[in-house]
Homo-oligomer: A and B are copies of this chain.
Amino acid sequence: MRIGDVAAAAGVSTRALRYYEEQGLLTSERSPSGQRHYGDDAVRRVRWIQALYAAGLNSKAITGLLPCVHTGVATDEMITHLAAERDRIDAQIRDLTTTRERLDGIIDAARDRNPECDLSAEAATAGSAG
């Protein structure tokens, strides 16, 4: 696969892929003319990178985790690190859940206060995800 294919398949820009390579997160074979070529697992790797970015990790942290994430092989230290990041994600989920519940409470209270609002709006919101 060439860089554009991987980018399309993973839903990121080619710039992002070059950035990942620059950060040591992604490697590529080069054709004689210098063009990048990737194996099929590159897409899964990029999806992992995105997921870990979304979880609040930065490039350096991901660099430390990706080897064992991708290969399944990890040293004790790596596992400790993995568990620590998992705990951080857990805490993040808890905080977000609290915020979500409080928002829910406010929404419900406001709907009680107001004349039933327009419930069709909520159905529209649920449909227009993206």
Contact = CB atoms under 8 A, between A and B. Distances in A.
Interface of A: 51-52, 54-55, 68-69, 72-76, 78-80, 82-87, 89-93, 95-100, 102-104, 106-107, 109-111, 113-114, 117-118, 121-122, 125-126, 129
A103 to B, nearest CB: 5
B118 A83 contact: no
Nearest to A106: B69
15 contacts: A51-B95, A54-B95, A55-B100, A68-B110, A72-B113, A75-B114, A76-B118, A82-B110, A83-B125, A86-B104, A87-B126, A89-B100, A89-B103, A92-B96, A93-B97
Given A79-B110, A80-B122, A118-B76, A103 B91 contact: no
Among A72, A84, A110, A113, find the residue whose CB has the most chain B CB atoms closer than 10 A: A110
B52 A110 contact: no
